[in-house]
Structure 1
C-alpha cells in the first residue's frame, strides 16, 4: 500500500463491479486530450496563416468589420476543434464497443492480458482513481500494429522489432489517472505494474501508442526508458479531419 499526504492507494486487478466507474474514467481520460490537441493544432504555422487569411477575408467582406473578422476566425477555430473532438471521440467509441465493452472477457480470461485499477482509501471509503491495461501479443507480425488508430499503417522499421518473435510483447493501453491524483507517483506505479506483468509473462518488450498532445504521458514513458520507434498521422477519422487536426501518434517501446 502506497501513501501520499495521508491518503492511501493500492493497485489491484479489475473486478466486474468496477465496470461503471472505469467506463466513466476512460471517457473523461480520452476526451481531456481534445483541448490540448486543439491548441497544438491552432499553433501550427500553416493554421496560423490560414486563420489570419480567414480573418482578413471576413474583415474585407464585412466592409472593414472587425466583428466579421472575428466571426470568420471563430468559425475556423470551431472547425479545428471539431476535427480534434471527432478523432478522440471516435477512438473512445471504438474502444468502448470492443475491448472495453467486456473487460472480463477481453482481459481477465486470457492469462497474457491484464487490467488493473488504482484504488484510493479516502476517509475510510474506497474510490477508483486510476487504471491500466496490458494485452499480450504472441507471434504477431509488425504490420499488424497501430490497428486502433489507423487500420494497420506502421511508421517504419524498428531495431526493437526484431525481438517480437522472442517471447512476444505486451501492449499497454488505458493508462489514466484521475486529475486530482496526478503528480502523486500513481502513473509511475501503474506503468511499473504493466512492466512487471510483462516480465512475469516472458514478453520481450512493452509497447504503447500515445498522441503528441499527451505531453505528460510522453514524459512519464521516457522516464521509464521507452523510446519512440514509429509514428503516423492517419486515424480512422475522415482524412480531411485528420489533416486539419494534425494529431501525430507515436509508437513507444521498452525492452524488458
Structure 2
C-alpha cells in the first residue's frame, strides 16, 4: 500500500526496474558508515592511548624524529581505518550476494516479508531515495519438561526490519520515520507481536530514530562478518533492538 511522506515521497512496493537504483542506494548507505566508525574508534580512550604510545615509540626509535612519530601513529590509524572499512565492505558484499541480489525472491515472493522504496521527483524524473524491508524470522525455543523428561519445541516467529536507508539529501525531513512506520504497520497487519532490528554503533542517527519509535536495546555484540580482532580494533558493535506490537 502506497503512502506519502511530508517531503512528497511516495512509498510503494519494490519493482524489478528499481534494482539498479536500490543497489546503488544500498551501497552508499552501508559504506557511508566507515568514516563515522573510524572517528569513533580513534576517539576511544584506549585507542588514543595506543596512538600516543606508538607515536612515542616511533619518535624514540627514529632518533627523536617527529616524522617517524607521525609515520608510526599514521600506520596505526591506517590499520584501524582498514578494519572499519572491511567490516562494512564485507557486510555489503554478503548482502549483495544474498537477499539484495534477488529482492523479489527473498521478500516479495514470501507472504510475511516485504520490500518498499521511497520515490520522489528530482529534476522532473522519478528517483528512488529510500527503502526498507521486513522479513519473517523463526526461532526454535526448546523447553525441558521436568515431569517426563520430554523435549518440547515451540516455534517463535517474529518480524525483522532490515535495509532501512534514506539518501543523504532527503534526510531530516521525516522520511526515515515514514519508512519505519510503513514497515511496522505491515508487521501489525501480519499479526506479529514483536519486531526486532539490528544496527551498528556508528549509526547514531538511526539509533535516535529507533528509540523515538519505541524500540529498546536488548542485546549488544561484536559478531560481524569479519574476524573478531577486526571488530575489536574497529570497536564496531551491533545493537539488537526490539519493540512489542
TM-score using structure 1 length: 0.87
User: Aligned partners of 1:235, 1:118: CA distance in 2, in Å?
Assistant: 28
Structure 2 counterparts to residues 202-213 of structure 1, below 5 A:
202-213=191-202
User: How much does 1:142 deviate?
Assistant: 6.5
Q: 1:190 to 1:46 in 2, by over 3 A?
A: same
Q: 1:227 to 1:164 in 2, by over 3 A?
A: farther
Consecutive unaligned residues of structure 2, counting only runs of 5 or more, are: 143-153
User: Aligned partners of 1:62, 1:142: CA distance in 2, in Å?
Assistant: 59
Aligned length: 231
User: How much does 1:122 deviate?
Assistant: 2.9
Structure 2 counterparts to residues 49-88 of structure 1, below 5 A:
49-88=49-88
| Higher share of residues assigned strand | 2
For the Cα contact (< 8 Å) 1:116–1:131, is it kept in 2? yes
Alignment correspondent of 1:141: 140
What SS does the aligned partner of 1:202 have? coil
What SS does the aligned partner of 2:10 have? strand
Structure 1: 4+ residue segments shifted above 6 A: none
User: How much does 1:239 deviate?
Assistant: 2.0
User: How much does 1:206 deviate?
Assistant: 1.1
Alignment correspondent of 2:122: 122
User: How much does 1:190 deviate?
Assistant: 0.2
User: Aligned partners of 1:80, 1:24: CA distance in 2, in Å?
Assistant: 26
Query: Residues 79-108 of structure 1, C-alpha deviation per residue, up to 9 Å, x if partnerless?
Result: 000001101111111111011110010000
Structure 2 counterparts to residues 186-225 of structure 1, below 5 A:
186-225=175-214
Structure 2 counterparts to residues 1-256 of structure 1, below 5 A:
1-4=4-7, 8-138=8-138, 140-141=139-140, 165=156, 168-256=157-245
Q: Which has the larger radius of gyration?
A: 2
For the Cα contact (< 8 Å) 1:164–1:204, is it kept in 2? no
What SS does the aligned partner of 1:73 have? helix
Query: Residues 98-122 of structure 1, C-alpha deviation per residue, up to 9 Å, x if partnerless?
Result: 1111001000000100000000023
User: Aligned partners of 1:28, 1:132: CA distance in 2, in Å?
Assistant: 15
User: Aligned partners of 2:219, 2:171: CA distance in 1, in Å?
Assistant: 28
Alignment correspondent of 2:146: none
Q: 1:104 to 1:75 in 2, by over 3 A?
A: same
What is the CA RMSD across the aligned residues, in angstroms? Answer: 1.6
User: How much does 1:205 deviate?
Assistant: 1.1
